[in-house]
Amino acid sequence: MEKIVILTGAGISAESGLGTFRDEGGLWAQHRIEDVATPEGFARNPALVHQFYNARRVQAAKAQPNAAHQALARLQKDWPGEVIIVTQNVDSLHEAGGAKHVIYMHGTLAGALCGNCGHCWTSPLEMEVDEPCPVCQQPLVRPDVVWFREMPYFMDEVHDHLAGAALFASIGTSGQVYPAAGFVQQARAVGARTVELNLEPSAGASMFDETHLGSASTVVPRWVDQLLAQGSTQ
């Protein structure tokens, strides 16, 4: 059975109303990465970091999955082999769209993490700086998201999946952040076919055997239909 590994980024949730990072007017045009997405930024000003993620969590809670999330859930259900979705996104729209087995390599807004003992629990909609950990009682709560200079989650699992992939697809990501940006090379190294679906060519565009340019809600369902009709990745 041919395994498909799919990497998604902010572009897949753009049509659900969630902002991307590097497009014009994106999140990194409005906030400094060093302030809101690094351990040092959190140590300097935890209230500002909570404010940033609280706003994103509130917005994400209102968002609905779009046709691209739903199409990937359909692929996962109907493809005869395994379909692994690895997302850099911290929203829950893949699961809201019906997907199972989503790997959240950058964590999730739905989680709270204790900076003291590492305990994880379900995040309230808005986190407060002094909220104590339910296990160790230390007031070091943070969003369970991966920041710059931290190690993404589940990398061994992702590498194992890539090693067995017949097809690797990258959807809605600019290909500027590693390790995710390097997955395409790993997939190529094991002979997988590589496909990019994005609004515009990403930084690693030349690495892909096939490219579908356009908005995710249009190109992803079309690609999924083709794949299911073909029944093979080649």
Enzyme catalytic residues: 106
Give, as ranges, the residues between 210 and 229 that touch ligand OAD (CB under 6 A): 215-216
Both tokens of 68, joined, read 């691209």
CB closer to ligand OAD out of 68 and 166: 68
Distance CA 188, CA 124 (A): 41
Amino acid at 195: V
Determine which residue in the list 10, 73, 112, 167 makes contact with ligand OAD, applying CB under 6 A: 10
Least distance CB 136 / ligand OAD (angstroms): 26
Distance CA 46, CA 40 (A): 10
Residue 182 interacting with ligand OAD (CB under 6 A): no
**Angular region, 214: left φ>0, alpha ψ -120 to 50, beta rest:** left
Amino acid at 120: C
Q: How many residues would you count in the chain?
A: 234
How many CB atoms lie under 10 A from the CB of residue 62? 9
Distance CA 133, CA 216 (A): 39
Least distance CB 3 / ligand OAD (angstroms): 23
> 33, 198 in Cβ contact below 8 A?
no
Residue 91 interacting with ligand OAD (CB under 6 A): no
Q: Which residues, at least 6 apart from 3, have a Cβ–Cβ distance to it below 8 Å?
A: 81, 82, 83, 84, 161, 164, 165, 166, 167
From 14-22, 53-61, 73-81, 120-128, give the range in contact with ligand OAD by CB under 6 A: 14-22
Least distance CB 216 / ligand OAD (angstroms): 4
> 123, 113 in Cβ contact below 8 A?
no
Residue 97 interacting with ligand OAD (CB under 6 A): no
Residue found by looking up tokens 């390097």 in the block? 182
Residue 63 interacting with ligand OAD (CB under 6 A): no
Residue 69 interacting with ligand OAD (CB under 6 A): no
Residue 21 interacting with ligand OAD (CB under 6 A): yes
Least distance CB 203 / ligand OAD (angstroms): 8
Residue 22 interacting with ligand OAD (CB under 6 A): yes
Least distance CB 50 / ligand OAD (angstroms): 15
Determine which residue in the list 81, 148, 159, 190 makes contact with ligand OAD, applying CB under 6 A: 148
Using alpha carbons only, what angle is made at residue 94 by residues 91 and 97, rounded to the nearest 5 degrees? 120
Interface with ligand OAD (CB under 6 A)? 9-11, 14-15, 20-23, 26, 37, 88, 106, 146-148, 172-174, 176-177, 198-200, 202, 215-216
